[in-house]
Amino acid sequence: MKGGMERWKCTKKNCKAALKIFQNVLVNIIMNEHNHPKPDESTLRRQILNGRLKQKALAQYFDKPGVLISEELNKSGMGQLSKQEVSLLKKNIHYIRTVGRGEASIVTETTPAPCPEPNQ
């Protein structure tokens, strides 16, 4: 939200539909073939849950994925998920932790280690 300008775009990867809002006034609409059906509410909830889990996966690195999922399900009130959905969420948590750890190790590899203090 740079300078009061907000930009919104469709959540579908290949959809280019977007709009711009400046101080709560619609400024620009970009509509290119925005004719797909809107996602159902359960899909949107799962996407929100997945985003929260990704953040939590890095913040609470040593908690098991199942614990993180059950905590978020209890907080969100979504109810039960299928085994396949839980499995996909766990895979996403493992993936984000691997990518996050990889980026952290790259930073530490390029950063020189401090020299130990000589014994006097």
CA atoms within 13 A on the CB side of 113: 5
pLDDT band, residue 108 (cuts 50/70/90)? very low
Task: Find the mean pLDDT for residues 69-98.
Answer: 89
Mean predicted lDDT score pLDDT of the chain? 78
pLDDT at 104: 46
pLDDT at 101: 65
Q: Which amino acid is at 45?
A: R
- Percent pLDDT > 70 in the chain is 81
| Three-state secondary structure string covering 17-74 | CEEEEECCEEEEEECCCCCCCCCCHHHHHHHHHHHHHHHHHHHCCCCCHHHHHHHHHH
Q: Are 31 and 17 in contact (CB under 8 A)?
A: yes
Q: How many CB atoms lie within 10 A of CB 17?
A: 16
Q: Render pLDDT for 17-75 as a digit per residue (tens, 0 to 9).
A: 888 888 777 777 777 777 788 878 888 888 888 889 998 998 998 999 999 999 998 88
- Model pTM score: 0.57
pLDDT at 111: 43
Domain boundaries, the chain: 1-38, 41-110
> How far apart are alpha carbons 54 and 73 in whole angstroms?
14
Task: Find the mean pLDDT for residues 97-106.
Answer: 66
